[in-house]
Every structure is written in structure tokens, then in C-alpha cells.
């Protein structure tokens, strides 16, 4: 009993300390872009927030595949919808690099908040059954220590109050860098690169797949193909950035 009481006290103290540090960060932090005091999020002030180079979701009805230039540049894909926050431009490219290579995790919560806000405006939320994230191969995960897609997907799902399974997908095939490869080469390299740890339930018909960046769509497409073999009917890919076709 004593142990339980101590454990409860410790947990309460930890949450109070976390809340205290969160207030401190909000009070003393600076906007990443201009140095002014941030309001809604510790990383960015409202003026810079309004000036971010976001896609106009209303024009494309929350789906970049409705944009002919994007649709043409992504042939042979197996996902049905594409929801991205921004082209691969500043400040998103810098933030993505900081998250991926410098472990700046607070960037992931900003991405999740921005994605959730924009997603809610598309009114697609009600039809989603499950959120998944693109996994890293174990060797890459061990090297980096974390999966940036998971760090974005988890708070994104929490804000939308949708179920998330962070470890449902596994990357079983280690690939070399895909930079410079053609779409066909990428697809060949990615064939059978992913598996599901356990089958999804029959109720899962619409999956949202989260990643940091979408370039050729090969990775997301390979996972979508796998999911559709297991009974999933619709896959929506959600990423922070889209590398627009040249
Ligand atoms: Zn600012």
C-alpha cells in the first residue's frame, strides 16, 4: 500500500513539475522566427504563424491529389488521399532537419498541432478508423534513437481523439538511400519492405498514414498496398511537407 501511495505521489509530482516547466517555457521562450514572445505555441508567435507557407486546403478540398500537377507527379500510387501542411520550404525544411538530425522534439508537437488544426478544417475526421506512422528499420531507429514520424503521429492522433497504433507496422527490409533513384527503382527496393505485427481488425476501413515528408510517394504507396491486402479500403497519407515536382 505504501508503495502504491508513494508511486501515486511521485506521478502527481512529475505532472506538476512538467506543467510548471511548460508554463516557464511559454513565459520565457521566443518565437523561432522573429524572437517575439510566442502565444499559442512555445515555438512561434501569432504573426509568424499566420505567415507560414501552408497549402490552401480549401482550394484542394483537403486533398493534394486534387491538384493536377501533384497528381501527375505521383503515378502508380496506392493511397487515396494526400494531406500535407506545406511545400518543402523554410521554415519547415529547417524544422524537419532539426527534428530528424538534432532531436529537437518540440518541433514535432508544433507540426502535430498545425496538422490537426488544418485537418479539422477539412472535415475528414469522422471517417478515420486508425492512424499509423511510417516505421524506420530497427537499425536506423537504433542509430537515431527515435522515429520522427511517430513523434508527429502520436500528438496528432491525440488532438483529433483518433486511435493510434505506433508499433503496428514494421520495416523489415533495410534500404539504401533513395536519393537519385527513379520511381521504378524505389518501388523495386521497397517491395515487401513492410509488414504488420498483427492483422488489423475488420472494422478498420480507413487508415491515416503519417510521415514527415512525401517525395515520390513510394514508401507510403508500398504501405498502402500492404494495408489494402488486409482489408483496408482507403488510405490517406498525412505529411508535414511535400517536395513539389520540379
Ligand atoms: Zn514570430
Residue 24 has pLDDT above 60, yes or no: no
Distance 147 CA to ligand 1 centre (A): 28
* Amino acid 133: pLDDT: 98
* Amino acid 11: pLDDT: 53
Distance 157 CA to ligand 1 centre (A): 26
Distance 156 CA to ligand 1 centre (A): 23
Q: Give the separation between CA 47 and CA 240, rounded to whole angstroms.
A: 20
Distance 45 CA to ligand 1 centre (A): 4
Distance 210 CA to ligand 1 centre (A): 27
* Amino acid 176: pLDDT: 65
Distance 44 CA to ligand 1 centre (A): 5
Residue 6 has pLDDT above 50, yes or no: no
How big is the CA angle at 209 (ends 207 and 211), to the nearest 5 degrees? 175
Q: Give the separation between CA 230 and CA 43, rounded to whole angstroms.
A: 40
Q: Give the separation between CA 206 and CA 97, rounded to whole angstroms.
A: 30
Residue 157 has pLDDT above 60, yes or no: yes
Q: Give the separation between CA 229 and CA 193, rounded to whole angstroms.
A: 14
Distance 32 CA to ligand 1 centre (A): 6
Residue 4 CA from chain centroid, whole number: 37
- DSSP letter string over 93-116? HHHHHHHHHH--THHHHHHHHHHH
231's CB contacts (< 8 A; 6+ apart) are 200, 202, 204, 205
Instruction: Spell out which residues have Cβ within 5 A of ligand 1, the ion.
Output: 31, 33-34, 36, 45, 48
Average confidence (pLDDT) over 148-161: 97
Distance 106 CA to ligand 1 centre (A): 16
Distance 110 CA to ligand 1 centre (A): 14
Distance 115 CA to ligand 1 centre (A): 19
Kindly give the residue spans of alpha helices, DSSP state H, lying in the chain: 2-28, 46-50, 68-73, 92-102, 106-122, 138-144, 148-160, 183-190, 218-229
Distance 28 CA to ligand 1 centre (A): 14
Percent of the chain whose predicted confidence (pLDDT) is above 90? 67
Distance 107 CA to ligand 1 centre (A): 15
Question: CA separation (Å) from 53 to 71, 97, 212?
Answer: 20, 17, 16
DSSP state of 232: -
Residue 160 has pLDDT above 90, yes or no: yes
Distance 51 CA to ligand 1 centre (A): 9
Q: Give the separation between CA 123 and CA 196, rounded to whole angstroms.
A: 29
Question: CA separation (Å) from 207 to 7, 165, 229?
Answer: 37, 11, 13
Distance 37 CA to ligand 1 centre (A): 7
For residues 13 and 212, the model is more confident at: 212
Asked whether the beta carbons of 226 and 194 are under 8 A apart, the reply is yes
Domains annotated for the chain, with CATH where assigned, are 8-51 (no CATH), 54-174+192-242 (3.40.50)
Q: Which residues of 193-212 are buried (b: 16+ CB within 10 A; e: fewer)?
A: bbebeeebeeebebbbbbbb
* Amino acid 112: pLDDT: 98
pTM equals 0.85
* Amino acid 192: pLDDT: 85
pLDDT per residue as tens digits for the range 63-114: 999 999 999 999 889 999 999 999 999 999 999 999 999 999 999 999 999 9
Reported as a pLDDT band with limits 50, 70 and 90, residue 173 is confident
Amino acid at each position: 500500500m505504501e508503495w502504491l501511495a508513494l508511486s501515486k505521489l511521485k506521478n502527481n509530482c512529475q505532472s506538476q513539475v512538467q506543467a510548471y516547466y511548460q508554463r516557464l517555457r511559454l513565459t520565457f521562450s521566443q518565437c523561432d522566427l522573429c524572437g517575439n514572445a510566442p502565444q499559442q505555441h512555445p515555438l512561434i508567435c501569432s504573426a509568424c504563424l499566420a505567415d507560414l507557407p501552408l497549402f490552401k486546403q480549401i482550394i484542394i478540398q483537403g486533398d493534394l491529389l486534387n491538384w493536377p500537377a501533384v497528381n501527375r507527379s505521383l503515378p502508380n500510387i496506392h493511397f487515396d488521399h494526400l494531406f500535407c501542411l506545406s511545400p518543402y520550404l523554410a521554415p519547415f525544411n529547417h524544422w524537419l532537419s532539426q527534428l530528424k538530425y538534432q532531436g529537437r522534439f518540440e518541433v514535432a508537437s508544433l507540426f502535430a498541432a498545425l496538422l490537426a488544426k488544418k485537418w479539422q478544417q477539412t472535415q475528414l475526421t469522422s471517417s478515420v478508423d486508425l492512424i499509423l506512422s511510417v516505421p524506420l528499420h530497427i537499425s536506423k531507429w537504433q542509430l537515431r534513437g527515435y522515429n520522427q514520424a511517430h513523434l508527429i503521429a502520436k500528438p496528432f492522433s491525440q488532438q483529433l481523439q483518433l486511435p493510434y497504433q505506433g508499433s503496428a507496422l514494421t520495416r523489415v527490409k533495410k534500404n539504401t538511400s533513395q536519393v537519385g533513384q527513379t520511381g521504378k527503382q524505389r518501388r523495386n527496393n521497397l517491395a515487401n519492405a513492410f509488414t504488420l505485427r498483427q492483422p488489423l481488425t475488420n472494422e478498420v476501413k480507413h487508415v491515416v498514414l503519417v510521415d514527415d515528408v512525401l517525395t515520390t510517394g513510394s514508401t507510403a504507396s508500398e504501405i498502402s498496398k500492404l494495408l489494402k491486402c488486409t482489408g483496408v479500403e482507403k488510405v490517406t497519407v498525412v505529411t508535414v511537407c511535400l517536395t513539389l515536382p520540379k
